Amino acid sequence: MTSGRAIPHLRERGGGSILFTASIAGLIGSPFSPVYSAAKWGVNGMMASLAGRLANDNIRVNSVCPGVVDTPMLNVFMARPDQETDRDTNLAMMRKLTPLGREAQPEEIANAALFLLSDEASYITGVALPVDGGFVSK
């Protein structure tokens, strides 16, 4: 695991930041993809455990939890043959459930990640940050 390899180096330099990529499915579950959701809950569990363990080493550990993001993965997920509706109908439904009414662009997820890794977030650890246009707030 990459974080395990990084920890000794971060300790040597007196601290740093580790960031995991999870998903809102790891915060609220997903009836459409329970295995994916379980995996992302595991990512957030690992993050929280490491945050507690590494805080005394001045190592911050957080995760970014994207919602619906305009990527090739989204297109594959929205058009799965086991779905009862087509891609466009599924995407319209997701937009309706998202208070900001649209999917994120990859750059928006990257900006949240950069913030969590930066010194601007120096007092943030153990946080699973939803970057989801307000989806989990509904």
Q: Would you say residue 94 has pLDDT above 90?
A: no
Q: Average pLDDT, stretch 86-111?
A: 91
As a whole number, the mean pLDDT across the chain is 92
The ranges assigned to domains in the chain are 2-67+104-131
pTM above 0.75, yes or no: yes
Residue located via tokens 């939890």: 65
pLDDT of residue 91: 84
Catalytic residues: 36
Residue 45 vs residue 80, higher pLDDT: 45
How far is the C-alpha of 51 from the C-alpha of 53, rounded, in Å? 6
How far is the C-alpha of 74 from the C-alpha of 78, rounded, in Å? 6
pLDDT of residue 83: 66
Q: Would you say residue 2 has pLDDT above 90?
A: no
State which fold the 2-67+104-131 domain adopts. Rossmann fold (3.40.50)
67 pLDDT band (50/70/90 cuts)? very high
Q: Which of 31, 34, 53 is nearest to 42 (CA)?
A: 34
Q: Would you say residue 1 has pLDDT above 70?
A: no
Q: Would you say residue 75 has pLDDT above 80?
A: no
pLDDT of residue 8: 97
Q: Would you say residue 121 has pLDDT above 70?
A: yes
